[in-house]
Amino acid sequence: MTSARTRARLVERLRAQGISNEQVLAVIAQVPRHEFIDEALSHKAYDDTSLPIGFGQTISQPYIVARMTELAVAVPERKNVLEIGTGCGYQTTVLSKLFKTVHTIERIGGLVRNTRERLSRLGIHNARLRHADGSQGLPELAPFDVILITAAAPIVPENLISQLSNGGRLIFPVGSQEQELRMIERRGEDFLESRLEKVNFVPLLSGIS
C-alpha cells in the first residue's frame, strides 16, 4: 500500500493531469502521505482524493497540493513561505522540501498538537507552526516569497498582499459555494491577478478553537 509502485502511480496520474514540474513531482513521490491520515484510511492514502483528518477538516487532494506547489516554486527566491491552514501538515511538509523556511498557521488546537508531533517524527525542522487565526497573515515576519492559503476565503484576501516580497505570489482559493483558485503576483507596486481553476476547500474561519 505504501510501496514505491503505488506512489509512482500517483505521480503518473498527476502528470496526466498536467503537473509538469519534476522537482514537485519528486517531492510528492517522496513524502509518505499515509503518515498524515488515520490508519483506518491508509489504504486510500495514495488515491488522488481529499480525506477526513478529524475536527471536521480534510487533507487536501494530491493534485491540488501539487498544483499550488508548482505555482509556489516559480518565484524568484525561495527563502520563506507562509501557509495559512496547516491541517495535518501534508502541504507544509511538501513546502518544507522546497523552501528554506515554512511558517504555517492553524486555528484548531487539536490539529496543531497532532501536526507538531507528526512533523517532528518526520524530521521536518524548517517548519514553524503557530496556533492562531491566520487571516491577517504574519506581518511581523513579512515579507514572504509566497503566501499560500489552504482554506477558502469568501472574498479576495487583499489585506495580505502587503506581506508579499517583490516577485512574490499569493495563492488562494476564494468563494463560498463555487470556489476558484487564484493567484496575485507582486511586481513592484503592481499586483497581477490570475484566475486559475475551480476548486473545493474547507472555509477559512475566524478565531481559534
Helix (H, G, I), strand (E, B) or coil at 60: coil
d(CA 152, CA 5): 33
| Shortest Cβ 35–ligand SAH spacing (Å) | 12
* Out of 14, 28, 73, 84, the residue judged to bind ligand SAH by CB under 6 A: 84
Q: Which is nearer to ligand SAH, 41 or 167 (CB)?
A: 41
Question: How far apart, in whole angstroms, are the C-alpha atoms of residue 7 and residue 82?
Answer: 27
- Give how far Cα 92 sits from Cα of 5, 7, 162, 177, Å: 24, 19, 22, 26
Nearer to ligand SAH, 150 or 165 (CB): 150
Bridge partners of 80?
101
**Candidate segments 19-27, 104-112, 117-125, 170-178, binder of ligand SAH by CB under 6 A:** 104-112
Report which of 1, 6, 189, 168 is spatially closest to residue 99, judged by C-alpha positions.
168
Q: Which is nearer to ligand SAH, 18 or 154 (CB)?
A: 154
Q: Interface residues for ligand SAH in 117-176 (CB under 6 A)?
A: 133-135, 150-151
Cis-peptide, bond into residue 157, ω within 30° of zero: no
Q: C-beta of 21: minimal distance to ligand SAH in Å?
A: 18
Is 60 one of the catalytic residues?
Answer: yes
Of 200, 206, 194, 204, nearest in space to 177 by CA: 200
Q: One of 50, 60, 96, 135 is an active-site residue; which one? A: 60
User: 192: which 3 cell numbers?
Assistant: 497581477
47 binds ligand SAH (CB under 6 A): no
Residues that bind ligand SAH (CB under 6 A): 57-60, 84-88, 90-91, 105-108, 111, 133-135, 150-151, 202, 204-206
Q: Catalytic residues, which ones?
A: 60
